[in-house]
Amino acid sequence: MDERLKKYPASKCGRFTVVDTVPTKHPYCITEKHVVHAADNFGGMLSKAAIASLEDRHGRGMCGIKGCAMRQEEHTTALVVNVKSTKTLQELWTDGLQEYCLSIKDKVESDGFAGIAFTNNDK
């Protein structure tokens, strides 16, 4: 679990809770090139530094998704907020959801998240 999620409180009514993160386009995909580079140059530790080193060596992103030229740090994530309600998001927007989103907005931005996505796992 992403440690940053622990500092996000649930809404006062308990209806909205941060539960996870999700990639905004696709996750950064590790390939055998990453593993070999880490083994040869970083004692086998596949760290952010190892990935950045490989990307620097090639002068471009090395994501394993075909056609993706983004570097690892360009792959963004969004928070996932669980919504406990049978109402639509549009109905909830004026029934506390907008207030909750605004209450966590500064944390979302300072933690580097691209935005907020919604799920409904517990009605």
pLDDT in tens, the chain (123 residues): 678 899 999 998 889 999 999 999 899 999 999 999 999 999 999 999 999 999 999 999 999 999 999 999 999 999 999 999 999 999 999 999 999 999 999 999 999 999 999 999 764
Q: What is the pTM of this model?
A: 0.73
Residue type, 112: G
Domain residues of the chain, as ranges? 1-24+76-123, 28-73
Q: Which two tokens stand for residue 7?
A: 């500092």
Q: Which residue has the tokens 């796992």?
A: 121
Is residue 15 a contact partner of residue 82, using CB atoms and an 8 Å limit?
A: no
- The H-or-E segment that residue 49 falls in is helix 48-58
